């Protein structure tokens, strides 16, 4: 029988990570990072959550952060099972930023005109219920389209958007993402900052906690997916299997696309 307290990617482990961050760093939202410039200083953590599904789990992580005085950014997809108005508004009331996790180019199967119309409609959908200042692409690993490519033709600033979570991130950030159920990006197709080569890695959340507590590096940019952080053995096992299958599929796609 699995002992949930000994496993990584649980809400208990997330609480440990947040406690380390709260004790050692200042936390900022994406919109503040994009507007503060040189005033931020060093040793901050930019916390980002990509809400791909299970918005109620996102509500749990948001409450943990609120309890510890952490402000983070939550990017929501617009799928019906994810875009839950009550949850989005409750998370925003905690002091977290709400952003748009867009996937319009893959949804439109590469049709840029259709994609930008979908984008505009979704931006309005968010602004009907909350503030919207920044966006973040959804990786859509099974699609051949990189959703960021739409900005090769259009400009998100024309829609009153301050910045994009990948394209507007600077070289000053040390990026860590839980994509692929690890922090070292080995099982990662698109979740990276374009043009930036990471020099510091962590295999486990405990490794990441040690980096936060050690003080040897600063300016953390930590990207998490609340779906992955569970609170019981059954859910943990199901998501472990999901990630295992997903990572295998990504390896095949990486070979095929090369």
In a 13 Å sphere around the CA of 158, the CA atoms on its Cβ side amount to: 8
Q: In the predicted model, is pLDDT for residue 248 greater than 60?
A: no
Task: Give the CATH number for residue 80.
Answer: 3.20.20.370
Q: What are the phi and psi torsion angles at 206 (to 5°)? A: -60, -40
Q: Which residues contact 210 (CB under 8 A, 6 or more apart)?
A: 202
Look-up: residue for tokens 């600033």?
157
Domain of residue 183 covers 4-257
Furthest C-alpha separation in the chain: 54
Nearest Cα to 48, choosing from 67, 25, 66, 31? Answer: 31
In contact, 156 and 122? CB cutoff 8 Å: no
Domains held by the chain: number: 1
Minimum mean pLDDT among 12-16, 57-61, 212-216: which range?
A: 212-216
Tokens describing residue 3: 């002992």
pLDDT value of position 140: 74
Instruction: For residue 98, give the H/E element and its range.
Output: strand 97-102
Q: In the predicted model, is pLDDT for residue 247 greater than 60?
A: no
More confident of the two residues 187 and 71? 71
Query: What is the tens place of the pLDDT at every residue in 120-153?
Result: 999 999 999 999 999 999 987 778 899 999 999 9
Q: In the predicted model, is pLDDT for residue 253 greater than 50?
A: no
Percent of the chain with pLDDT over 90: 66
CA distance 151 to 113: 12
pLDDT value of position 185: 61
Confidence of residue 52 (pLDDT cuts 50, 70, 90): very high
């Amino acid at each position: 029988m699995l002992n949930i307290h000994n496993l990584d990617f649980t809400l208990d482990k997330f609480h440990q990570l947040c406690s380390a961050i709260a004790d050692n760093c200042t936390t900022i939202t994406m919109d503040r990072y994009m507007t503060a410039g040189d005033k931020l200083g060093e040793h901050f953590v930019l916390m980002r959550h990509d809400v791909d599904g299970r918005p109620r789990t996102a509500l749990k992580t948001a409450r943990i952060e609120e309890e510890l005085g952490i402000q983070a950014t939550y990017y929501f997809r617009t799928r019906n099972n994810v875009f839950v108005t009550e949850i989005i508004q409750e998370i925003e009331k905690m002091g977290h930023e709400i952003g748009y996790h867009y996937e319009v180019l893959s949804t439109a199967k590469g049709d840029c005109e259709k994609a930008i119309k979908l984008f505009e409609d979704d931006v309005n959908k968010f602004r009907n219920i909350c503030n919207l200042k920044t966006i973040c692409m959804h990786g859509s690993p099974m699609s051949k389209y990189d959703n960021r490519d739409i900005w090769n033709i259009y400009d998100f600033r024309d829609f009153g958007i301050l910045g994009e979570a990948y394209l507007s991130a600077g070289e000053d950030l040390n990026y860590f993402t839980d994509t692929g159920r690890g922090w070292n990006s080995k099982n990662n197709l698109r979740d990276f900052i374009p043009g930036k080569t990471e020099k510091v890695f962590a295999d486990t959340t405990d490794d990441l906690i040690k980096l936060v507590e050690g003080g040897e590096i600063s300016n953390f940019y930590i990207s998490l997916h609340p779906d992955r952080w569970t609170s019981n053995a059954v859910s943990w096992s199901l998501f472990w299997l999901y990630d295992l299958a997903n990572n295998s599929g990504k390896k095949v796609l990486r070979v095929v696309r090369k």
